[in-house]
Chain A
Amino acid sequence: MYHKEKSIQIKNSASALYNNLGVLRIAPRSLTYFTVVHANVVNMVSASWDGLNYSHRQLQSKEPNVATSTSLIMQAAFCALPSRDLLVVTSQKGIQIYESDGSTMVYWHALDTPDTPTDQAVFARGISAVGNSYICVGDSSGSILVFDVPSKGSNITLSDVLKGHKKSITDIASECSGSQDCIADLISADDGGNLCVWKSGEEFQRFNNIPGFDISCTSVKLWKGTAVAGYGTGQIRLYEAVTGILHAEVNAHARWIYSLDIAPFSGLLLSAAEDSLVRVWHLSIKPESLSVEVAHLHNECVTDTQICGAKFCDGDGHAFAVTGYDLSEIIRYTQS
């Protein structure tokens, strides 16, 4: 179904972090941007679709105007809003927002980091654009910071702090940006496996809480009102987001799932785990029974590699890319 393509070499190897691959497709310029986190650096590659041009850039996690002090990066992800695309980098010290090509930092938000380390880790993790102009970022205390983003420039403001989680945020996802209307358009997950479902707006509303089983939900997606969540038990669970009804449960992997992605136009689901396997599934919603069916389509084994990032490169799922811990390349697969 898929075959391996030529890999993209990156400057350093990927670190073992959940959802450690960012992808942004820039159709007007026939380019795709990729981001892979290595310790305190984000490796960015801009790849032309004809496979001939690759340019690299590295971003460091640091406060503006402070020469020293870098901290470990937890996640880097692209946020595609109707008016602009941005790159968000979250670390142990704060949140950085860049223009999508990584050329300029437009915003810095510092976390409340204590002077000497305490036994509670402090960091930001979980990044998603939502609605017309919001970027949501989670943190280690379970809070979700909501940033209001103007269509141009750097006048980004912190407009809300959502409380719904008691454990560290692991991942945040959204759907229905722009014109579509949804009951709920944002979902967040934490280290206890709990999911919160929200509706964005001037005032964000919490619609539902789907409790977990004390095992981290490491990656979550929202698609046609269905929450798709991956856990440290290697399971994928599909819930109806607003009601919390469990549609399906898959014993998908033998180790912790590190990344999930959905191709929204085709309903293809990608799952990747520390067990070295990437799996492709198909989700279909049956309107008569209001149920969701999961069908398994394809496996890829990345030998001896604990996978940490896997994403579709386009909305149909025609191609996907994979990163693994200690691997200095982005592996790509295309539909045959």
Chain B
Amino acid sequence: MNGIVGAMFSKDFMDELLKPQQLYSHRTLKTVLTRIAHASIMRLNPASMDRLYELVVMAFKYQIFLCPRPKDLLLITYNHIDTIRELVKDTPVVVNQVGETHRKIIEVYSSLSEGEFQLLRQTLLIFFQDMHVRVSLFLKIQVQNPNGRFALSTSGPVPHGIDVPGLIRTFDGKGREVRRSEFPSGGSYSSSVREGCFELHGDRVIRLGTDMYTVNHPEETHTPKHTFVKTDITPNLLAKEELNLLARLMGSMKAEKEPKAETGFWINLFTTDQEEEEAGASGLAEEPLFEVIHIQAMQDEQVTTELARIAGQFAEEEPPGNLNSSKGDDLLAMMDDL
């Protein structure tokens, strides 16, 4: 954890990230996340990385989609940062990095207006468009529907600064209210709760961006075969700019520990190929569009210690090529050697 947080919150990487820039493509973001994930002794095979990426993006989509007011994007971000700070609290060097990043984010974003935050949010929503991967945890707690779309409630408290719908006020030429009438809102809204804190420390009030796993359970992602429509909007020039950006980002990412094949080990988040096929076949009867993939994220301490011991015994293995062949392969391959 310290490895990952340390790499992600390094000054150079964050400085690069906080420069004004265009929206990333999915390919770029996945490459960056893969590199971050590998900044520790953990290794994920490509299929597992794909699933992890989908899980991360869907959780991210959920938070942006349901963000109550545009500037609450900051509160959601601060929830994440607060949690990360807690995770690495025993490593002062990394805590400092997180704190520095938090300060920089406050500096860069605090002056944006609500309209500008909404534009930011609208741009991010383009990134998530057409992704409807079902996540078992989200289905279970009913924030996501079986069709993959997130539940939008028409009840509950309205966001801070918004009035409960239902009132029509009419005024005369002198600005005096002359009439009030009500209309059915079609929902059951209540008044807003207090506003969250935008400082370095404080109660953020909103829950988006906090830990969604209140109970340990094995999670599954159901991946429909053709759900993710690739929006390939990268003509040559755009791809080149993106690769340049990627090169700068990779160059500024210094992993705390250089991944050494001897100490690393590969996690196959899947059961054996045969079991997968069987699961796929049995699932076909009820849900012809889906392959059921089981990921067991075990949080049992004894198991993880055991894993670490076994890891030491794993033989060196060649990492399978984790990039699909497309333009810029050579450049990206070069970056992997950084």
Contacts and interface: CB of A to CB of B under 8 A. Distances in A.
A42 interface: no
Q: Is the interface of B mostly helix, strand, loop or mixed?
A: loop
Interface string B118-152: 11011101101110000000000000010001111
A305 B238 contact: no
B154 A277 contact: yes
A306 interface: yes
B19 to A, nearest CB: 8
A191 B119 CA distance: 10
Interface in A47-87: 67-70, 72
A15 B115 CA distance: 17
B238 A69 contact: yes
B119 A121 contact: yes
Nearest to B172: A291
Nearest to A297: B183
A132 B125 CA distance: 38
Interface in A195-217: 214-216
B170 interface: yes
Q: Is the interface of A mostly helix, strand, loop or mixed?
A: loop
Contact of B22 (A117, A168, A192): A117
B154 A118 contact: no
Contact of A216 (B23, B118, B183, B189): B118
A32 interface: no
Contact of B186 (A12, A17, A277): A277
Given A192-B113, A255-B159, A277-B186, A15 B154 contact: no
Contacts of A38: 129
Interface string A223-234: 000000000111
Nearest to A168: B115
Given A17-B122, A214-B113, A326-B129, A247 B145 contact: no
Contacts of A12: 129-130, 229, 231
Interface stretch (B28-36, B161-169, B310-318): B161-169
Interface string A129-154: 00000000000000000000000000
A232 B125 contact: no
B92 interface: no
Contact of A247 (B116, B152, B171, B233): B171
B65 A69 contact: no
Contact of A294 (B170, B173, B175): B170
Nearest to A308: B122
Contacts of B302: none
Contact of A192 (B23, B115, B121, B186): B115
Nearest to B192: A254
Given A15-B129, A293-B170, A296-B168, A216 B115 contact: yes
B233 A40 contact: yes
A235 interface: yes
B152 A290 contact: no
A15 B152 contact: no
A200 to B, nearest CB: 26
Contacts of A215: 114-115, 161
B184 A299 contact: yes
Nearest to A277: B186
Nearest to A299: B186
A17 B19 CA distance: 24
Contacts of B175: 245-246
Given A16-B122, A214-B113, A276 B167 contact: no
B320 interface: no
A8 to B, nearest CB: 18
B57 to A, nearest CB: 14
Contacts of B189: 254
Contacts of A305: 152
Given A248-B168, A250-B167, A277-B186, A118 B20 contact: yes
B21 interface: yes
Contacts of A290: 173
A254 B65 contact: no
B55 to A, nearest CB: 19
Contacts of A276: 152, 154
A255 B163 CA distance: 9
B168 A214 contact: no
B187 interface: yes
A158 interface: no
A249 interface: yes
B214 interface: no
A44 to B, nearest CB: 18
B111 to A, nearest CB: 10
B237 interface: yes
A235 B167 CA distance: 10
Contacts of A292: 170
Interface string B31-71: 00000000000000000000000000000000001001010
B184 A245 contact: no
A161 interface: no
12 contacts: A69-B235, A72-B123, A117-B22, A121-B116, A215-B115, A233-B163, A253-B165, A275-B187, A291-B170, A292-B170, A293-B170, A304-B150
Please provide the 7 A-B residue pairs with the shortest distance between their CB atoms, ordered closest to farther: A191-B115, A296-B183, A68-B235, A216-B115, A299-B186, A251-B163, A68-B237
